[in-house]
Chain A
């Protein structure tokens, strides 16, 4: 375990001291945890460095990186990649009901770009950072799947 560095929602954490783990159902990633007082059931989902652990009903995103992966990630950050163009994708499948973004307009971080209706609710997709909209891939009435590109910001 010593070759691993653990991050939860961006913060580095250590493994839980005093807790023991046994796999109940490895196919479903289900584990039993105990610290001598309480017993918890957790579900682990993911692969590579990206994992989600469901604990007490809550999905907690966790990154598990080897030293090699960590160094590669740092090198990527150093080259300033995040400042480049971003493609904003649909986080859930649904029907596009409104498109506020238009090619050429400047948006600020958090500004609503597109509204997706799914499960009887309207969900606003917001700009992850400020920039100029260079591409709009959807129009009201289009159906999108999770991961489909919506808008490109440069």
Chain B
């Protein structure tokens, strides 16, 4: 049973633990998701290999992994997006598989192909599936062929010279409408237009943005569905055609078309709507060659009709809420499926229990259009206790790099029902203390008492319509802040500050020591 480990030290102390799916796995990502995958590896008895850019030498994921490999300079193009550097790191470390996380190269067909070409396992779907689904126009055609409703609009690209769809065809889309990038994601290359005449000038801008962001300026037109709720369905499939449909997630709390809060189940989804959503998700998944975790995203209009948006064949940021209600380790299963394991029958019918909510803690200023905030995290106190889970990528002392996504941590709660989960979320937010950088914590505290959110009646317009930049600082809070600052100054508090390399706290994290300590540990474990 342990023969495949003969060239390395066994990590298993108990021979009854099953053979790990891989001996060593490289994680081509950073931050909280790299740590999430490291944890899944530990649980399965797999050695984890972290990669890091020069900006991340002292980061938490580097310290937690069994090994770490440098992959280049801070800009993502020279490190986390460099296929060559990542494959070289995989070869040096002797990894058998590569987990891409989310973002970066996770949906990059050429990367999946290069990984398989190097004789390694890509923890994800086949490259051809990524290519087919990565093009939103192609995905729309696939959905239509599978009998799944799509957002009314065009399934061909708009041309810069005005050829392509006629004015009549454009008018039939219906307005207001959205220009969208075929290679898109994350709201970039998206522009709202109110009438046909606005398409021309908006198209040039959208094309420019899409080219810059994705290297592909293909744009198409889709009707704007509003009010709408953003609902997605979690799938898990193996290499034998078994498909588990693991419930929906409500992701309607968004800024810049990007999710901020997710929950399951959705208050808007009735059993009949759920059945229809699951059926559509299943149809799409069986229309493409797919194994791995995946999410099929839909818009749900006020009448309960759903429209296919896209299918993401990778781990989602918000996978944790599904894990809380199903009790499954989705990342663990993703790795096992990649290694060729078959999903057991009981997993295909996994029951869902209770209600789970996730809030994303971003280093962003919700009082200034959710602008990213830079700096060093000084104080960092995360909540705990019953029904609370925190997946964090930082700790006190971490300096945030402007090169990367400002997600600090995901705070998740689980309760018997929605009111219980909400109460838990309020309690958990009260326990959370972050110093040094402005985060969206103040927005989340407002949200948990917002009437629409509390009742479950909200849609994707919530932030724009009800939050804006949030309420001004209350007189009471101003007075309390004044009291704290005055006492801090008069009692000679050291002056913890997030600015600059010396933040007045001494050096809580001597990076050199931390890295040395980890390296020594690896040396001891490395086979002779």
Contact = CB atoms under 8 A, between A and B. Distances in A.
Nearest to B256: A121
Nearest to B361: A57
A118 B374 contact: yes
Interface string A106-137: 00000000000011110100000000000000
B481 to A, nearest CB: 4
Contacts of B504: 47
Interface in B358-413: 363, 367, 371-374, 378-379, 381, 396, 402-406
Interface string B178-203: 00000000100000000000000000
Interface in A1-44: 1, 4, 6-9, 11, 13-17, 19, 21, 23, 25-31, 33, 40-44
A87 interface: no
Contacts of B475: 13
Of listed B476, B484, B493, B497, residue having the most chain A CB within 10 A: B484
B479 interface: yes
Which of under 10, 10 to 19, 20 to 34, or 35 or more describes the interface residues of B? 35 or more
B273 interface: no
A15 B483 contact: yes
B402 A40 contact: no
Interface string B48-65: 000000000000000000
Contacts of B371: 121, 123
Interface of A is mostly: strand
B479 A15 contact: yes
Contacts, number: 184
Contacts of A64: 482, 485-486, 489
Interface stretch (B147-155, B240-248, B285-293, B434-442): B434-442
B528 interface: no
Interface in B483-517: 483-491, 493-499, 504-506
B485 A51 contact: yes
Pick the 4 closest A-B CB pairs, nearest first: A57-B441, A43-B435, A119-B372, A57-B442
Interface of B: 186, 363, 367, 371-374, 378-379, 381, 396, 402-406, 429, 432-436, 438-445, 473, 475-491, 493-499, 504-506
Interface of A: 1, 4, 6-9, 11, 13-17, 19, 21, 23, 25-31, 33, 40-49, 51-60, 62, 64, 92-94, 118-121, 123, 146
